[in-house]
Amino acid sequence: MQISSIFALLLISQGLTWIVACNSIFVHSNTSFFEGSHTSKPGCPRKCGDLTVPYPFGIVGLNASCSINPFFDINCNTPFNPPKAFLARVNNLEVLYISETKIRVRNAMAWSCSDEDGNITQEINLSMDLSGTPFSFSNENKLTVVGCNDVSLLSTVNNEWEDFISSCVAICTKPQDLSNGSCSGIGCCQSSIPKGLRSVYATLSTLNGHSKVQYLNPCSYAFLAEQNSYKFATYDLSDSSFVNRTIENVPLVIDWAIGNRTCNQLRNNNEMIICQGESVCVDSGTTLGGYRCNCSHGYQGNPYLTPGCQG
């Protein structure tokens, strides 16, 4: 297909985040909840291979209550060496890292390949859905296109002409135009995505045919990449291993939160907030509601587990 045109206050100071809410100021530290002695629930495994799995996440095993709810269950696939971790209830996504606010997962991508006449020989679209889960696609990801005379349209449904949320155009006509490390539109482009996305669908199209640049760029690619995790190289345009190499080395970032209510909503309704001793409730900031718990300044540990954060 051818297309001719494409159309609460936070202050960071000395490693502290100041949260302004309810006419009060709370201070919490950015200390990792891996650093306390209580990372996982008692009796539950702490690691899957190289991955530390802190509560509210938990590794599925003999103890079925290692996570806060089934969406936070981690399957530890031991046939791999080292073992690999997967979100058990969310499309079996492979988990690479878990932090206080985000997880990094193995990526997926769209690609399109053409023959010397410009005819498409292979076409794969990108479709990922987190609907109904406590997870959403972080706006730390960038819609990234690698190709010549290619455009990707990102929407929230399986229909490229509806619900546009981002687009990106990469152009080039000759090798001299390309520059290693540059992703500003020549051979590579990146565009921002909004917060709070639960589903994404990306397609690839050509602006004016691919036959003139097929020798330079037989296949084109579109994917979401954590900001600064992908560095464009000119050989990416013709490297047959690009898909596997990118999926392995460029992660996708997903935000997580507890529930779908903010801290104030829970307090106003006298509903339970699970933040334990010396920790504070902090809104997720994803536009979807939900909250997380952070240790107060000077304390560290896992704020979701008794006894909470320790000085």
pLDDT greater than 90 at residue 144: yes
Cα 300 to Cα 37: distance, rounded to the nearest angstrom: 9
- Domain-embedded: residue 203: yes
pLDDT of residue 22: 30
> Which whole number is the average pLDDT over 136-146?
97
Q: In which band, very low, low, confident or very high, does the pLDDT at 115 lie, cut at 50, 70 and 90? A: confident
Identify the helix (H) or strand (E) that includes residue 263: helix 263-268
Classify residue 21: in a domain, yes or no: yes
Residues 188 and 113 in one domain: yes
In a domain, 300, yes or no: no
In a domain, 304, yes or no: no
Provide the pLDDT for residue 27: 35
Q: Are residues 131 and 190 in the same domain?
A: yes
Looking at residue 71, what DSSP letter applies?
Answer: G
| 119 and 211 co-located in one domain | yes
99 and 140 in a single domain? The answer is no
265-284 pLDDT, tens digit each: 999 999 999 999 999 999 99
Task: Count the Cβ atoms, other than its own, within 10 Å of residue 49.
Answer: 13
Torsion angle in degrees (nearest 10) through CA of 77, 140, 197, 40:
40
Element counts in the chain: helices (H) and strands (E): 2, 23
- The answer as to whether 263 is a domain residue is yes
Same domain, residue pair 113 and 229: yes
Range of the domain at 37: 11-104+256-295
pLDDT tops 70 at residue 9: no
Q: Do residues 212 and 273 share a domain?
A: no
Do 222 and 126 meet the contact criterion of CB atoms below 8 Å apart?
yes
* 16 shares its domain with 51: yes
Tell me, yes or no, whether 194 and 99 share the same domain. Answer: no
Please tell me the predicted confidence (pLDDT) of residue 199. 93
Provide the number of structural domains found in the chain: 2
Q: Which of 17-26, 35-44, 55-64 has the highest mean pLDDT?
A: 55-64
CA-CA distance, 225 to 242, in Å (whole number)?
A: 14
